[in-house]
Amino acid sequence: MRINWMIRFQHKPFLFALFSLILLLAQQVATIFGYDLTSAMSNQATHILNTVLSIFVLIGVVVDPTTRGTSDSERALMYRRPR
């Protein structure tokens, strides 16, 4: 598996997704060990925050980091099969 990590770390949607993923994982791991990182927030606010972070993760997974913005390149739009 060859991944150009330098390009990914320069792409803002990927960074948002990575940061969101780390926050969600930290919250889940802390809960497993009996710590409540969200005790200062209401239950509804916690669910809203988790939903927003999950959307950021989804965007980071779907977006092609080799193009500017959040759309695919013209070349990638023409693919009929993965390359």
The answer on pLDDT for 4 being more than 80 is no
pLDDT at 78 over 80: no
30-64: b (≥16 Cβ within 10 Å) or e: eeeeeeeebeeeeeeebeebbeebeebbeebeebe
Return the residue matching tokens 């390149």. Answer: 73
| pLDDT tens-digit map of 25-67 | 998 899 899 988 777 778 888 888 889 888 888 877 777 777 7
Domains in the chain: boundaries:
12-62
With 80 as the cut, is the pLDDT of residue 19 above it? Answer: yes
* pLDDT at res. 58: 84
pLDDT at 63: 75
Whole-model pTM? 0.68
